[in-house]
Amino acid sequence: MSAKDLQPPKVQKRLATKVARSVILVALVIGLMMSTIVAYLDLQETNDSFRKTVEQVIKTAHEPAARSAYNVNDELAGEVANGLMEYDSLISVTILDDLHNTLTSRSRVLETSPHRWIADEGFGGLQSFEIELRTIDDPEVKAGYLQVIADPIGVAEEFVQRVTLEALVIILQSLIIAGIFSLIFYRLLIGPLQNISHALATTDPDNPLQSQLNVPKTNQGDELYVLAESGNRLLQSIAKRTQERDTAEADLRKAAQTLEQRIVDRTVELAKQFEAAKAASKAKQEFLASMSHEIRTPMAGVLGLADMLLDDDITPDTREKVEKMKETTQSLLVIINDILDLSKIDSGKLKLENIDYRLRHELYKAIEVVEQSAQQKSLKLNIQIDDDIPNNLHGDPNRLRQVLINLLGNAIKFTEKGHVTLSAQQTVHENDNRFLIISVTDTGIGIPKDRLKDIFDEFTQADASISRRYAGTGLGLAISKRLVDILDGSISVSSEENKGTVFTVKLPLKKSDDTAAPPAEKKVAALYEAQRSLSILAVDDNPLNLRIVSVLMAKYGHVVRQADTGKKAIDILSDPALAPVPDLILMDIRMPEMSGPEATEIIRGFDNNIANVPIIALTADVVEEHVKEFMDAGMNGFVAKPINPGVLLEEINNVMLEKIHEPVVEKEQSA
Query: DSSP string of 186-252?
Result: IIIIIHHHHHHHHHHHT--TT-GGG------GGGTTSHHHHHHHHHHHHHHHHHHHHHHHHHHHHHH
Nearest to 428 by CA among 338, 506, 311: 506
Residue with more model confidence, 153 or 294: 153
**Is the confidence at residue 70, as pLDDT, over 60?**
yes
The pLDDT assigned to 462 comes to 47
Residue whose C-alpha is closest to residue 225's, from 233, 217, 236? 217
Q: How far apart are CA 200 and CA 232, in angstroms?
A: 10
What percent of the chain has pLDDT above 90?
A: 19
Q: Is the pLDDT of residue 519 over 60?
A: no
User: Average per-residue pLDDT in the chain?
Assistant: 81
CB-neighbour burial class of residue 16 (10 A; exposed 0-12, middle 13-18, buried 19+): middle
pLDDT of residue 247: 86
The pLDDT, as a whole number, for residue 504 is 93
Q: Residue 606: its pLDDT value, please?
A: 93
The backbone region for 348, taken as left when phi is positive above 0, alpha when psi lies in -120 to 50, beta otherwise, is: left
Q: Which residue, 125, 82, 77, 131, is CA-closest to 107?
A: 82
671 band by pLDDT with thresholds 50, 70 and 90: very low
Mean pLDDT for the stretch of residues 527-555: 91
| Listed range (328-332, 500-504, 654-658) with the worst mean pLDDT | 328-332
Asked if pLDDT for residue 392 goes beyond 70, the answer is: yes
402-447 pLDDT, tens digit per residue, is 889 889 988 988 899 899 999 999 887 756 678 899 999 999 988 8
In the predicted model, is pLDDT for residue 283 greater than 80?
no
* pLDDT tens per residue across span 566-591: 999 999 999 988 888 999 999 999 88
Q: Does position 637 have pLDDT exceeding 90, yes or no?
A: yes
- Alpha-carbon gap, residue 302 to 224, rounded angstroms: 104
Cβ neighbourhood burial of 471 (10 Å; 0-12, 13-18, 19+) = exposed
Residue that wins the pLDDT comparison between 317 and 83: 83
Instruction: Provide DSSP, 514-539.
Output: TTPPPPP-----S-EEESS--EEEEE
Residues 211/217/219/224 CA torsion (nearest 10 deg) = 10
Predicted structure pTM score: 0.45
Q: Which residues contact 192 (CB under 8 A, 6 or more apart)?
A: 215, 216, 219, 224, 228
Residue 356 has pLDDT above 80, yes or no: yes
**Do the strands 615-619 and 584-588 form a parallel or antiparallel pair, or are they unpaired?**
parallel
CA distance 204 to 238: 11
Q: Are strands 637-640 and 615-619 parallel, antiparallel or unpaired?
A: parallel
Q: What is the pLDDT of residue 326?
A: 67
Q: Is the confidence at residue 262, as pLDDT, over 90?
A: no
As to burial, measured by CB atoms within 10 angstroms (0-12 exposed, 13-18 middle, 19+ buried), residue 603 is buried
DSSP string, 52-90: HHHHHHHHHTHHHHHHHHHTT-HHHHHHHHHHHHTSTTE
Identify the H or E element spanning 420: strand 419-428
Mean predicted confidence (pLDDT) in 503-518: 75
Q: How far apart are CA 47 and CA 43, in angstroms?
A: 6
pLDDT class of 473 with cuts at 50, 70, 90: very low
Q: Mean per-residue pLDDT for 82-99?
A: 88
Mean pLDDT value across residues 540-565: 91
Q: What are the residues whose beta carbons fall under 8 Å from the beta carbon of 217, sequence distance 6 or more?
A: none
Mean pLDDT, to the nearest integer, of 142-157? 87
- List, for residues 91-146, the tens digit of each pLDDT value: 899 999 888 888 899 888 888 888 888 888 888 888 888 888 888 777 787 888 99
- Looking at 78-82, 336-340, 492-496, 641-645, which range is the least confident one? 336-340
Domains of the chain, each with CATH number or no CATH: 15-176 (3.30.450), 352-508 (3.30.565.10), 528-670 (3.40.50.2300)
Identity (one letter) of the amino acid at 392?
N
Strand partners, 97: 144
Question: Residue 521's pLDDT is what?
Answer: 53
Average pLDDT, integer, range 616-640: 85
CA 87 to mean position of chain CA atoms: 93
Helices (H) and strands (E) in the chain, counts: 18, 18
> CA–CA separation, 29 vs 245, rounded Å?
55
Within 8 A by CB and 6+ apart from 425, the residues are 385, 386, 389, 436, 437
CA–CA gap between residue 602 and residue 571 (Å, rounded): 11
Cβ contact 351:328 at 8 Å: no
Query: Quick one: pLDDT at residue 468?
Result: 41
How far is CA 57 from its chain centroid?
95
| Residue 502: pLDDT over 90 | yes
Question: How much is the average pLDDT of 446-475?
Answer: 61
pLDDT band, very low/low/confident/very high, at 54 (cuts 50, 70, 90): confident
Beta bridge partners of 104: 95
Mean of the pLDDT values across residues 63-87? 87
Q: What is the spatial distance between Cα 294 and Cα 296, in angstroms, rounded to a whole number? A: 6
- pLDDT confidence tier of residue 532, bands split at 50, 70 and 90: very high
